[in-house]
Amino acid sequence: MNKKPFIICMAIMACLAVVTGAYSAFGNQFVNIKGEKVSYKTVSAAAASAKSKTPSAASAECSVKQTTTKPTTEKEPQGNNNGTSSSMPYLIKVNKTQNIVIIYKQDDSGEYTVPVKAMVCSVGKEGNTPSGTFKTSDKYTWRLLEGNVYGQYATRITGHFLFHSVPYFEKSKDTLEYDEYNKLGVPASAGCIRLSVEDSKWIYDNCPTKTTVIMYESDKKEPLEKPSPIKIDTSDTGKRNWDPTDPDKNNPWNN
């Protein structure tokens, strides 16, 4: 009988037994490249943690992909105060058909019937801006948006939908997407309500958390005229990168 294959087989089995015993003895541990004992659970947890820290486009606001179903169309609510009488100073209404925002204050009866301010806006270009009645929540001086761009003076309406300025390429006031600014007044956003800096800041400053927002579609004439936005001369390299309405003292439009 040739004993050589038998001896080799026994040697392999002995090695496997040693490795298995060592793994058990160290309490389900591995040895990393530094010679340190690391458990399988530790390795798995580290991998999961690294994966969770990877930036995701889904974390940005107003992503079209985050709207799984097209919002239902809601006509302009009828009645004096639309059932929203409260202690809040203002009510915000967004006419998605006309791309206009109207701010209302309360009358002597506590109903929001007095229009005080109109703002030109841009709703979602793919019809994904929701309709309905919502309450504002979070506020941000700067907020990351869909497409890795940034908006100033953002106020959350619902979910990933916000009021915010026209986007900037960077978190810097002199990096405005001026071509997008010139689209104010027509659908142009990824779903949020775009405004000039002046108007987004007004909502940020004057409309407390839990202010009611009603968004609807209507061809009916609104009580205030839709403002005409300033048009940026895209060949003017000295001004085009700034929102013309931004009150910042460094804004060349203010000089």
Sequential pLDDT tens for the chain (255 residues): 555 555 655 666 655 554 444 444 444 444 443 444 444 344 344 434 433 333 333 346 675 443 333 333 344 444 444 545 578 999 999 999 999 999 999 999 999 999 999 999 999 999 999 999 999 999 999 999 999 999 999 999 999 999 999 999 999 999 999 999 999 999 999 999 999 999 999 999 999 999 999 999 999 999 999 999 999 999 999 999 999 999 999 999 998
The dihedral over CA atoms of 139, 142, 144, 147, expressed in degrees to the nearest 10, equals 120
What confidence score (pLDDT) does residue 31 get?
A: 43
The DSSP call for residue 225 is: P
Cβ contact 47:30 at 8 Å: no
What confidence score (pLDDT) does residue 121 get?
A: 98
The first and second tokens of residue 38, run together, are: 């690391």
Q: Is 122 helix (H, G, I), strand (E, B) or coil?
A: strand
- One-letter amino acid identity for 51? K
What confidence score (pLDDT) does residue 129 get?
A: 98
Residue 33, phi then psi, degrees to nearest 5: -70, -15
Nearest to 241 by CA among 188, 203, 197: 197
What confidence score (pLDDT) does residue 4 get?
A: 57
Q: Please state, in angstroms and rounded to a whole number, the distance separating the CA atoms of residues 145 and 14.
A: 60
